[in-house]
Structures are given as C-alpha cells and as structure tokens.
Amino acid sequence: MAAGCKGLGGEGSAAPPPHVLAVDDSSVDRAVIASILRSSHFRVTAVDSGKRALELLGSEPNVSMIITDYWMPEMTGYELLKKVKESSRLKEIPVVIMSSENVPTRISRCLEEGAEDFLLKPVRLADVSRLCSRVLR
C-alpha cells in the first residue's frame, strides 16, 4: 500500500482526491512526478509549460496544489510562482518548486516569494508524503 495522502480522497473516502497540477517541460520528469502523485491518491493534471499551467488554472477552479519545475523555457517555475501569488483568485493555491540543482540562493528566493516547499529532483515518495501533511491540511 502506498504511503501517501490517506484520508484525502483515497480508498474508502467520500471526499474527491486532491487535484495537483504538475508542470515540467521534461516528459520523463513529468511522468515520474505524476506517477508518484497518483500513487499517493492525488488526481493529477500534467502540463509542459508555465503558460499551459496558467491556461488550465483559468479554466479549472479546483486545483489543490501546483508542483512545478524551476527551469523551463518561456516561463520559469519562479515566474509561474510569482504570477500565481499575484493573482487574487489563485494566490491561496500552494506552489511547490522542484529542481535538480541545489542552489541555496534560488531556494531562498522561491520560499521568500511564497513557495510552500522546494524539492530536489529526483522527487521521492517520501517528499510527496511530507507535502501531504504540510500543504493539504
């Protein structure tokens, strides 16, 4: 049995599963994070850019959390974070940034701008379990 968000829409729960928007320009990383999130009883929508994420957020009102890669073409995860936090309609959605690079100044900047957490890739099931308890209270 997967260690995940039990009681948050998992088996036997009447509540719908939390909806996570996963944003990564790498199809491999997108598939990995979506698989980990689904194994933890999340409903996942995966998109390949910050621009597509904003389009989806405009039409999908029930996103519980956004998890985004930091480095992406056109719009970085940091820029996506800023746009979400500047929006009166979206600012309450927790945003988690992930990156394969451990750069303390980047991590600090994202957290100061309102990111809920900063995960280093490869993201593991334990990271997602921690998010369940911290982000989706």
- Binned at pLDDT 50, 70 and 90, residue 2 comes out as very low
Statement: residue 48 has pLDDT above 60: yes
Alpha-carbon distance of 38 to 17, in angstroms, equals 10
Superfamily holding 19-136: Response regulator (3.40.50.2300)
End-to-end CA distance of the chain: 21
Say what angle helices 50-59 and 77-86 make with each other, to 10 degrees: 30
Alpha-carbon distance of 99 to 59, in angstroms, equals 27
* In the chain, % of residues over pLDDT 70: 87
Instruction: State pLDDT tens for residues 51-67.
Output: 999 999 999 989 999 99
Q: Is the peptide bond before 104 cis (omega within 30 degrees of 0)?
A: no
Answer for the pair 25, 19: CB distance below 8 angstroms, yes or no. no
Provide the whole-model pTM: 0.89
Task: List the chain domain ranges.
Answer: 19-136
**Range list of β-strands (E), 70-113:** 95-99
